[in-house]
């Protein structure tokens, strides 16, 4: 029975890796990001820790956040993450991690970073991560370290540009077939077309795979409510979500739909120590 369960899980993982290779060491996090199909390299909030460490420098105050995602409604493909960030002189320090999978297949990533404003409208961030991949009971555990770099520019009050690279050194996973943790480059823009409406777009490239294009829309009709939707190609998927902002707290909910594998719900909770961000 256990072997059958393991076989079915790896079958799903094979499909999953063909459609979304970020499982090896990195996956986008947070229901706000999920609501706009993860076109989030220019999004400024605590989950920038996972998307672009440079964007964290535009936050005025620190905070803490947690998220949960059940990819394709499967317990074996669930993801949890957390972030803690605090301002220091000339920047922001952060610590966080993500945990994906279940007892027989699990990837972990934990690290810390530093983000700094290079100018009023230009920021950069670096991050170091410990990563592990466990394939029990046959293949054991692999450990590695990776570096991440991100930059973001706010050209004016309407237009932002962001860039990030995960796993700069292409950390090795196995000597067999020169297998490595995924290296991912993301380039994107955010455009505020109205005071309460912002558009996001992004190009994401895993160095050995096809390019993925993403876009999203975030609408804030009042101080409390957010409404989000998005889509992506390579593979094709659609998403929508909502957020509720309650002073120092924010709750985000989202779901995405893959035409082959179905629904992926996610939820996140954020607590800001003091006020709002500069987003």
Neighbouring-strand partners of residue 145: 130
For residues 67 and 6, is the Cβ–Cβ distance under 8 A? no
| pLDDT recorded at residue 177 | 63
For residues 47 and 29, is the Cβ–Cβ distance under 8 A? yes
pLDDT at 196 over 70: yes
pLDDT at 80 over 80: yes
If one counts every other C-beta atom within 10 angstroms of the C-beta of residue 116, the result is 18
For the chain, which domains are there?
2-272 (2.40.160.60)
Main-chain phi, psi angles of 5, to 5 degrees: -60, -40
Terminal CA-CA length for the chain: 50
Mean pLDDT of the chain: 86
| pLDDT recorded at residue 175 | 62
For residues 226 and 31, is the Cβ–Cβ distance under 8 A? no
Look up residue 264 and give its DSSP letter: E
| pLDDT recorded at residue 178 | 62
Q: Which of these, 93, 81, 85, lies nearest to 31 by C-alpha position?
A: 81
Over the stretch 214-260, which tens digit does the pLDDT of each residue have?
Answer: 999 999 999 999 999 999 987 889 999 999 999 889 999 999 999 88
Find how far residue 193's CA is from the centre of its chain.
24
Pick the residue with more confidence: 92 or 141? 92
pLDDT at 270 over 90: yes
| pLDDT recorded at residue 22 | 46
Extended beta strands in 53-171, E state: 63-70, 78-88, 91-102, 105-119, 122-135, 140-154, 159-166
| pLDDT recorded at residue 3 | 40
| Whole-prediction pTM | 0.86
| pLDDT recorded at residue 93 | 96
pLDDT at 274 over 80: no
pLDDT at 172 over 80: no
| pLDDT recorded at residue 174 | 65
The proportion of the chain whose per-residue pLDDT surpasses 70, expressed as a percent, equals 86
């Amino acid at each position: 029975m256990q072997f059958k369960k393991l076989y079915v899980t790896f079958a799903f993982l094979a499909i999953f890796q063909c459609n979304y290779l970020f499982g090896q060491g990195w996956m986008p996090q947070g229901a706000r990001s999920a609501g706009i199909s993860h076109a989030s390299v220019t999004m400024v909030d605590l989950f920038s820790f996972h998307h672009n460490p440079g964007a964290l420098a535009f936050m005025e105050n620190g905070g803490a956040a947690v998220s949960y995602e059940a990819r394709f409604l499967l317990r074996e493909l669930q993801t949890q993450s957390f972030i803690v960030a605090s301002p220091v002189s000339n920047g922001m320090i952060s610590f966080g991690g993500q945990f994906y999978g279940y007892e027989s297949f699990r990837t972990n990533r934990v690290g810390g970073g530093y983000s700094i404003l290079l100018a009023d409208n230009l920021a950069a961030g670096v991050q170091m991560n410990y990563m592990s991949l466990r394939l029990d009971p046959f293949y054991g555990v692999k450990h590695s370290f990776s570096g991440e770099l991100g930059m973001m520019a706010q050209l004016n009050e309407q237009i932002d540009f962001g860039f990030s690279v995960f796993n700069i050194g292409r950390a090795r996973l196995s000597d067999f077939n020169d297998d490595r943790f995924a290296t991912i480059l993301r380039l994107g823009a955010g455009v505020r077309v109205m005071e309460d409406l912002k558009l996001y777009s992004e190009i994401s490239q895993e160095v050995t795979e096809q390019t993925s294009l993403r876009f999203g829309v975030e609408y804030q009709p009042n101080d409390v409510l957010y409404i989000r939707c998005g889509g992506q190609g390579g593979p094709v998927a659609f998403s929508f979500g909502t957020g509720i902002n309650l002073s120092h707290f924010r709750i985000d909910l989202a779901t995405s739909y893959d035409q082959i594998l179905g629904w992926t719900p996610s939820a996140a909770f954020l607590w800001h120590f003091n006020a709002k961000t500069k987003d």
